[in-house]
Amino acid sequence: MSIRYYSTNRNLKNVAGITPFTGKVAFKEALLKGQAEDEGLFMPDTIPQLKLKDIQKLKGKPYSDTALLIAKAFLADEFSPNTLKKVVKDSYNYSVPMEEIRPKTYIMRLDQGPTASFKDFAARMMARLMSNCRPKCERLNVLVATSGDTGSAVGEAFKGVAGIDVTILYPQNEVSGMQKKQLDTIGGNIQALSVCGKFDDCQNLVKQAFSDSDLLKFNLTSANSINFGRILPQIIYYVYAYAQLSENGEDAIFSVPSGNFGDALGCEYARRMGLPVAKLVMPTNENDEFPIYLNTGKYKKVSPSRACISNAMNVGHPSNLARFFDLYGGTVDRVGQVHRYPDLQKMRKYIFSVSITDEQTRETIKSVYKRYHVILEQHGAVGWAGLEEYFKRFPEQKLAICLETAHPAKFPEEIEKLLGLTIPVPESMKSIDQREGSAVAISNDYNNFKNYLLKKLKIKE
Ligand SMILES: *Cc1c(COP(=O)(O)O)cnc(C)c1O
């Protein structure tokens, strides 16, 4: 039986005029649509199972071997083995270092991809899967609104991918000089638009375009972070880390610095596929709605979200919470209203969460450097601090792996101020200074944007 995808909103009773989507779709449709028509998130109706001995066989093998195992488990019905092999080979051509910090405790660095954050892992594989399921001889046109980092990860991921063009919209006065350079100069099939307006304006332009029937012929699609195509690749590194580091089928703890919960969701699925995960530690920054929920059983989003130094995690209502709730028997909608609470006892059994303040984050960056000579940036530091909090409460000798989700060189001001040293810039970031290219400036008026798309986008290969 092939895996089908249902909506997290399927049980809602006509909330706010939305009709629940009670059907199921194939992976390809979930991938191209991004989200269900009832604004719910797509979920696989079956979770494929892995055998421990097959996981253990991946020890010492390249990352792409683990990627292929997971890709086949989910996608074998819809993609040929050769296609999947090519997708994972092309997606993963950089290293995934593990650093032993103290006995049995590791940091997994997911910061060696082209834009130096873990988002490269998911974006690169999703781009190649999309390229393989576009309609024959037609192009796909991806539209993304970004406040900075996601746009460059998605842009780089799709660069040179056959049959797909990407248009990135960013608010002209809300990105840093470095981000602007990253976005404007990707080149090739990637075009940046600098919008005279705010991030919300960018999002609105994209939303309107998706519902505009004049633009249907362009096969518009989004590379949004709630796409299941971005969750699936995030299962892989948990299995990979476990295969490399475990000795004899022991349980492991993972600590995952969390914002929209897509990264942590990869670990949740890995456990449900059979990976021996004793605990998923999900530290947040001061946006503490989830740790408060686990403690009290009451969920209330943080609105507006709090601006912390780990800014990629400034999320007051994590979009993937809907998937976590669903997996544990509950329902929460896009705006954060709970329609049915999940099984809290069960959630507490597998998940631990704690909120880490900015002050603790800075202290952690300093103390980890002092004690272990390891440089963390602020997101990874939240992960590490969360793991230490967990061990304080539950002292045990277990294999533990903490994810570092970005390269410290992405945040030179903060890290250099705290540690008093210069961070060496990775190769992928060095070349950006020499790149050329420019964005097209547009107003925040929808008709202008539409005219631009009508003039520029291509339909056929
Ligand atoms: C996006 C991001 C996160 C948060 O990941 P989620 O999947 O949203 O929980 C953490 N660290 C960095 C560097 C990020 O870019």
Kindly report, residue by residue over 114-136, the tens digit of the pLDDT: 999 999 999 999 999 999 998 88
Confidence at residue 84, expressed as pLDDT on a 0 to 100 scale: 98
Cα 261 to averaged position of ligand 1 atoms, centre (Å): 8
Higher pLDDT, 199 or 356: 356
The answer to whether the beta carbons of residues 315 and 260 sit under 8 Å apart is: yes
Cβ(35) to ligand 1 under 6 A? no
Domain 116-226+431-461 matching CATH 3.40.50.1100: the answer reads: yes
Dihedral class, residue 306 (left if φ above 0, else alpha if ψ from -120 to 50, else beta): beta
- Give, for 337, the enclosing helix (H) or strand (E): none
Minimum mean pLDDT range among 109-118, 130-139, 261-270? 130-139
pTM of the predicted protein model: 0.94
Residues 6+ apart with CB under 8 A from 144: 150, 151, 154, 155, 166, 167, 168, 169, 206, 222, 223, 224
Residue nearest ligand 1's atom 14 by CA:
312
Residue nearest ligand 1's atom 1 by CA:
312
Confidence at residue 352, expressed as pLDDT on a 0 to 100 scale: 98
- Mutating to test ligand 1, I would choose from 108, 109, 112, 117 the residue with most ligand atoms within 8 A of its C-beta, which is 117
pLDDT exceeds 80 at position 149:
no
Cα 457 to averaged position of ligand 1 atoms, centre (Å): 31
Distance CA 30, CA 204 (A): 22
- Mutating to test ligand 1, I would choose from 108, 118, 324 the residue with most ligand atoms within 8 A of its C-beta, which is 118
pLDDT exceeds 80 at position 14:
no
Distance CA 137, CA 143 (A): 20
- Give, for 325, the enclosing helix (H) or strand (E): helix 321-327
Distance CA 255, CA 388 (A): 10
pLDDT exceeds 90 at position 1:
no
Residues 6+ apart with CB under 8 A from 430: none
Distance CA 223, CA 216 (A): 17
Q: Pick the most confident of 134-138, 387-391, 406-410.
A: 387-391
The tens digit of pLDDT for each residue in 247-258 reads 999 999 999 999
Distance CA 249, CA 86 (A): 30
Cα 432 to averaged position of ligand 1 atoms, centre (Å): 22
Cα 125 to averaged position of ligand 1 atoms, centre (Å): 17
DSSP bridge partners of 168: 144, 192
Q: Percentage of the chain with pLDDT > 90?
A: 82
Confidence at residue 141, expressed as pLDDT on a 0 to 100 scale: 95
Catalytic residue list? 119
Residue nearest ligand 1's atom 15 by CA:
312
Residue nearest ligand 1's atom 2 by CA:
312
Cβ(205) to ligand 1 under 6 A? no
Shortest-distance atom of ligand 1 to CA 315: 8
Average pLDDT, the chain: 94
Confidence at residue 446, expressed as pLDDT on a 0 to 100 scale: 97
Q: What are the residue ranges of CATH 3.40.50.1100 in the chain? A: 95-112+232-416, 116-226+431-461
Distance CA 212, CA 190 (A): 22
Residues 6+ apart with CB under 8 A from 348: 294
What's the pLDDT band for 174 if we cut at 50, 70, 90? confident
Cβ(285) to ligand 1 under 6 A? no
CATH fold for domain 95-112+232-416: Rossmann fold (3.40.50)
Long-range contacts at 416-420 (CB < 8 A, ≥ 24 apart): 418/362, 418/365, 418/366, 419/365, 419/366, 419/369, 419/375
Cα 262 to averaged position of ligand 1 atoms, centre (Å): 8
- Mutating to test ligand 1, I would choose from 313, 320, 378, 402 the residue with most ligand atoms within 8 A of its C-beta, which is 313
C-alpha gyration radius of the chain:
21
**What is the identity of the amino acid at 232?**
L
3-state secondary structure of 135: coil
pLDDT exceeds 90 at position 452:
yes
Residues 6+ apart with CB under 8 A from 196: 172, 441, 442, 443, 444
Confidence at residue 139, expressed as pLDDT on a 0 to 100 scale: 92
Cα 40 to averaged position of ligand 1 atoms, centre (Å): 21
**What is the identity of the amino acid at 197?**
G
Handedness of CA 253, 407, 321, 76 (dihedral sign): negative
